Amino acid sequence: MNKGFKKTYCALVRRLEESSRLGGVMGILHWDQEVIMPAGASESRAQQIGALAGVLHEKTTHPEMGKLLDELFAADENKFTAPEWCNIREARREFHIATRVPKVLVTELAELSSRSHQIWVKARSENKFSDFVPALKKLVDLKIKWAGYVFPDMQPYDANIDIYERGTTQRDITPIFDKLKAELIPLIKAIQSSDYKPDVSFLSGQFPIEKQEALGRRIGEDMGFLFNHGRMDVSTHPFCGGSHPTDVRITTRYRTDNFLESLYAVIHETGHGLYEQGRMQNGRDLPVSEALTMAIHESQSLFWERMIAQGKPFCARYLPLLAETFPRNLKDVTPAQFYEAVNVSGPSLIRVGADEVTYPLHVLLRYELEKGLFDGSIRVEHLPEMWNAKMKEYLGVEPPTDTLGVLQDTHWSGGAFGYFPSYTLGAIYASQFYQALLRAKPGVEKQIAAGNMAPVREWLGVQIHQRGRLLSVPDLVERVTGEKLNPDNFLDYLKNKYRQIYQLD
């Protein structure tokens, strides 16, 4: 890089680092809102978030930023290192997106999302979807309007998907989801009709929250989560947030009658946290180090939750610790019994508690409803009845209340339309990554059974976490697994595993 470009690039880096740090402040405000903020502060917090969003928008769209990017992008890519060019490319994309959206719309969306979250929390607790309708309508309208500014040549829903899964559209997702629906519904019915049912009686009882907290922390530490660079708290909906790889916040929620829900939520969110803590050491306030897409992020949490923690080696390793923690329930349980119990499959009302066979249909339902909201074929007022009808059709269960149905997820209250497909795309990637790990390290399951998670964490770090945004998703997946996104791998994994557990022919 010559001196002129170096000076320009350094000026860009300073601006990107400042925006990243302000974004970190925004992350802590959101975490605080979910975890410890007094309920009465919701309006002032909405205004604070709206103001900060406006400041970030001004910095992102500053004319000087445009000048720097134009000068750098006009240069030969070969004059820069791969990380430098990635920062330039990512910043230019963000600049073009941001400059197309009026500041008033950015502020309005930020404030509405904050207010809508509090409205959703209250509506959910009181089972009153009608109270959430006006805010949800407005959010859909604003996100359609936003899409028209940012990607005027794309369908509004595709534009929203693109924020989470760049380059992915309904044309890519729908055939994959249709294939999953066609093959998973019969598998679910076969499981339901099986005469063999795993014993789950030992999972019922009373499990003190303080013991659950200690258990979750111990397993999080074994996975490699650095608590001096992170923390674990309680929220309505488990999530991973924070401000920086050195300040990663994960949350769970507790039920005294069910320790598995909290434990596996901790494992799931710790998977996200390890991705954040494992990012490349250089340029951590720059785009190059950031997670690639939400599906890749989700693949990491599902990798740990399902591929590792629901696997036989992990279950055999940690059953003694669980029995020591909850001796009244687990002292006489065998590893085989525990493995079957944590992998029990059956239709359920709540997505976050769904097993890996039924979970994709929860996502598919939401995907189909979001498509309808954005193409105008579904009205917000009709969501509860359509939700319930699809739950009945796909899973054979029908929510008795909206709290257990259409109001269960926080995503829509924050305007996160197009996010849900990432969960199932992530599950597909996770199964592919695990097969690649087994090929790369044939003895890794023995390491897991011995309680050594370091080989898993280190392999993921090198293959995925430390690569940041240097590669596109298709290139990353092919580099790691030798193939592109492949739902057949995921379906084969589910069929083989659950046919064995439920003794299906």
In this prediction, residue 107 carries a pLDDT of 87
In this prediction, residue 359 carries a pLDDT of 97
Q: Is the pLDDT of residue 310 over 90?
A: yes
pLDDT band for position 287 (50/70/90)? Answer: very high
Cα(165)–Cα(292) distance, integer angstroms: 9
pLDDT band for position 352 (50/70/90)? Answer: confident
pLDDT digits (tens, 9 = 90+) for 156-180: 999 999 999 998 999 999 999 999 9
Amino acid at 449: A
Q: 9 — phi, psi (to 5°)?
A: -65, -40
Round the average pLDDT of the chain to a whole number and report it: 95
pLDDT above 90: percentage of residues in the chain: 91
**pLDDT (mean) for 207-231:** 97
Question: What is the chain's length?
Answer: 505
> 243: which residues sit within 8 A by CB, 6+ positions away?
23, 24, 25, 27, 28
Q: Which of 427, 261, 413 is nearest to 350 (CA)?
A: 261
**pLDDT (mean) for 399-423:** 96
How far from the centroid of its chain's Cα atoms is residue 313's Cα? 25
Q: Is the pLDDT of residue 46 over 90?
A: no
**pLDDT (mean) for 182-205:** 96
Please compute Rg for the chain using Cα positions. Answer: 23
Write down the catalytic residue from 269, 276, 298, 356. 269
* Residue 457 contacts residue 437 (beta carbons within 8 Å): no
Question: When comparing pLDDT for 504 and 353, which is higher?
Answer: 504
Task: State the pTM of this model.
Answer: 0.92
* Residue 269 contacts residue 252 (beta carbons within 8 Å): yes
In this prediction, residue 382 carries a pLDDT of 97
In this prediction, residue 237 carries a pLDDT of 81
In this prediction, residue 333 carries a pLDDT of 96
Parallel, antiparallel, or unpaired: how do β-strands 230-234 and 247-252 relate? parallel
In this prediction, residue 106 carries a pLDDT of 87
pLDDT band for position 236 (50/70/90)? Answer: confident
Q: Is the pLDDT of residue 88 over 90?
A: yes
pLDDT band for position 1 (50/70/90)? Answer: low
Cα-based distances in Å from 358 to 390, 397, 495: 13, 12, 12
Q: Is 269 a catalytic residue?
A: yes
Q: Which of 160, 453, 169 is nearest to 313 (CA)?
A: 453
pLDDT band for position 2 (50/70/90)? Answer: low
CATH 1.10.1370.30 holds for 170-501? yes
The single-letter DSSP state of residue 252 is: E
pLDDT digits (tens, 9 = 90+) for 436-487: 999 999 999 999 999 999 999 999 999 999 999 999 999 999 999 999 999 9
What are the structural domain ranges in the chain?
3-126, 170-501
CA dihedral 134, 137, 141, 146 (to 10 degrees): 90
pLDDT digits (tens, 9 = 90+) for 422-435: 999 999 999 999 99
pLDDT band for position 421 (50/70/90)? Answer: very high
pLDDT digits (tens, 9 = 90+) for 258-286: 999 999 999 999 999 999 999 999 999 99
Q: Which of 94-108, 199-213, 422-436 has the lowest mean pLDDT?
A: 94-108
pLDDT digits (tens, 9 = 90+) for 127-166: 999 999 999 999 999 999 999 999 999 999 999 999 999 9
